Structure 1
Amino acid sequence: MVEVLLVSENAAKPGDAQETELGRVCVERNLATQLELDTCRAEVQRRRAEGNDATLGGVMVEEGVITQGQLHRVRKSMEAMRTSQQIPGFVILSRLGAGAMATVFKARQISLDRLVAIKVLPKRFSENPEYVERFYKEGKAAAKLNHPNIVQAIDVGEAGGYHYFVMEYVEGRTLYDDLAEGKVFDEVEALRIILQIARALAHAHERGLIHRDVKPKNIMITPDGIAKLADMGLARMAQDSQAAQAEAGKAYGTPYYISPEQVRGELDIDFRADIYSLGATLYHLITGRVPFQADTPTAVMHLHLREPLIPPDHVNPALSVGIGEVVEAMMAKDRTMRYSSTKDLIADMAAVAAGKPPVQVRGALGAEELSGLTLSGEPAGPGDTQQLPAQPWRHSATVLYVVLAILAASLLANIILALR
């Protein structure tokens, strides 16, 4: 009888319930077959009967069934799932994904019988006041907004020592998912999407909120083609001088899409930073590549500061000159040269989408340069768009090409004379 009790004690060590869950998750995710799992469980029991301290995860790694990295990810997922089950009023259905700062779950809100997404802050961050404060700021920032193209905030709170943020559940994909598969968006589709996000940003800007992290990963597209701006994790009120002082000199944003003033960590970041990032996102959609590419994040950010932008219509000849001008104005390194409001940007993008010239940005041209411009009431076709006058920043490039051509011709003539 004593021997049976000893064997039972070895077979039911603390944490065995978690190991049972570990095995189930590995099989569900096709990381292991049921036969491999049963074999590893038998090996665990054999080692424990011999007095050795063995775990299912350790044996599965030793036997080559899963890797150490896979074991780590599964355990991390299990921890997050257990955490989420403690949130009252919600039933967790599945794990949607995880980032560096949080794990997101699909859930059902019991009271209203609707699907929601719940972002949960990991325990290791829950004990850090700075991370907790940022987490709640995201929820409060999102709660200030109510727009069809912004993921709606529902609730933010704490349960069982864990902090959570409940938001609208959006069925669909991110723009990043499409770009990662090599998709290059045509001009019409890209403008349709970016126009929606520009309207979302206009709504936020009117309420004094700057997103500061506009990028493909933070833009979701529903099956009906509705674009939604997500993740207010870096959002800040434009007039929040205390936060601005605390963040001065630090670069907050994503390197591929960050504005020059964010790279410099300037105090007075405003809506024009979002316009720049939206322009970088549009650039990526219509060219299939980011505006600036380098080996390190620091190098990429340096290019945003110094490197001239190759116009998108020079990268993708199928694009109109109009969309090229809009993107160049959005991504001007000097923010005073960008659009003076999100509404002006929306007007120009809508015009280009209709085959017309971007009138708002061309307002920067002098009367002499505009004297030959005539606009009909009919939408211009691709050919008409190509005939419209170029922006000032394009003039310098044109002059450069002419000068180079003259120099080349002169050099060729001298060579011919020398040969004679």
Structure 2
Amino acid sequence: MSSSADALLALLEKHPLLSASQLAVVRDQLRPRFPEAAELAAELRERGWLTDYQIQQLWKNRGDSLFLGPYVLLEPLGEGGMGQVFRARQRHLDRMDAVKVIKPESLNRPGFLQRFQREARAAARLHHANVATVYTADECNGRPYLAMEFVEGVDLQKLVVTQGPLPVASACEYIRQAALGLQHAHEKGLVHRDIKPSNLL
């Protein structure tokens, strides 16, 4: 990709990551001040208008991959066996959600898509303080995804890695909360098959 700010502006005009007013500021005020694409990108990152992940995808000419139905993908949060989870903005509601995008290779497994849809419907019936709410399961351009409540904070694994072993009282409280959420899921006929510290927020 060209290193000029004009090239980055052209990508931003093609991929509507910014609002019309933000794009006007880029075009009229920032482009003259930051003639190099890297400088302009750094300014947009500093303003919170673009994330590092979005900038990387634009550099790779993969701007289309940042859009998934009503969602704009902002940054990856984690990755599991069947998909990758992103922090995403729901454009119509201007709400932050967590969106799990299913990996293409997962779709090749026999019966995977049917099981995914069945589990998504079951998860959508869960309404509990200790369970992230599922908003929708859909598909866009052959990419199935699951959108759910975005929970601020760190997962239990990162907490232990950064702070060391937890005090007994804190560990017991976290396990109690997880158990309450799992009990609710069990009562609704849903079995969580991947309980681990990195899945507890």
Q: TM-score range by the shorter chain?
A: 0.5 to 0.7
Q: 1:96 to 1:193 in 2, by over 3 A?
A: same
- The 2-side partners of 1:162 and 1:129 are apart by 17
Q: Please state if 1:188 is matched with 2:169.
A: yes
Partner of 2:196: 215
Shift of residue 127, structure 1, vs aligned partner: 4.0
- The 1-side partners of 2:139 and 2:66 are apart by 11
Identity percentage of aligned residues: 36
Post-superposition Cα deviations, 1:39-60, rounded to whole Å, max 9, x if no partner, equal xxxxxxxxxxxxxxxxxxxxxx
Q: In the alignment, is the contact (CA less than 8 A) between 1:97 and 1:105 conserved in 2? A: yes
Shift of residue 110, structure 1, vs aligned partner: 2.0
Post-superposition Cα deviations, 1:120-164, rounded to whole Å, max 9, x if no partner, equal 112233344433233323322311211011011000011101111
- The 2-side partners of 1:138 and 1:185 are apart by 33
Partner of 1:330: none
Once the two structures are superposed, the pairs formed by residues 4-153 of structure 1 within 5 Å of their partners are 82-85=64-67, 87-153=68-134
Post-superposition Cα deviations, 1:277-331, rounded to whole Å, max 9, x if no partner, equal xxxxxxxxxxxxxxxxxxxxxxxxxxxxxxxxxxxxxxxxxxxxxxxxxxxxxxx
Partner of 2:139: 158
Q: Please state if 1:202 is matched with 2:183.
A: yes
Partner of 2:153: 172
- Unaligned stretches of 5+ residues in structure 2: 12-37, 39-55
Q: 1:127 to 1:169 in 2, by over 3 A?
A: same
- Unaligned stretches of 5+ residues in structure 1: 1-10, 22-36, 38-73, 221-420
SS at match of 1:210: coil
- The 2-side partners of 1:84 and 1:164 are apart by 13
- The 2-side partners of 1:79 and 1:195 are apart by 46
Partner of 1:413: none
- The 2-side partners of 1:198 and 1:84 are apart by 35
Once the two structures are superposed, the pairs formed by residues 206-285 of structure 1 within 5 Å of their partners are 206-220=187-201
Q: In the alignment, is the contact (CA less than 8 A) between 2:90 and 2:96 conserved in 1? A: yes
Shift of residue 199, structure 1, vs aligned partner: 1.3
Structure with greater contact order relative to length (CA < 8 Å, sep ≥ 6) = 2
Q: In the alignment, is the contact (CA less than 8 A) between 1:119 and 1:165 conserved in 2? A: yes
Letter in 2 for 1:89: P
Letter in 2 for 1:206: E
- The 1-side partners of 2:144 and 2:61 are apart by 14
In terms of Rg, which structure is larger?
1
- The structure carrying a bigger strand percent of its residues is 2
Letter in 1 for 2:134: A
Q: 1:213 to 1:95 in 2, by over 3 A?
A: closer
Q: In the alignment, is the contact (CA less than 8 A) between 1:80 and 1:103 conserved in 2? A: no
Partner of 1:345: none
Root mean square deviation, CA, Å: 3.0
How many aligned positions are there?
A: 149
- The structure carrying a bigger helix percent of its residues is 1
With normalisation by structure 1, the TM-score equals 0.32
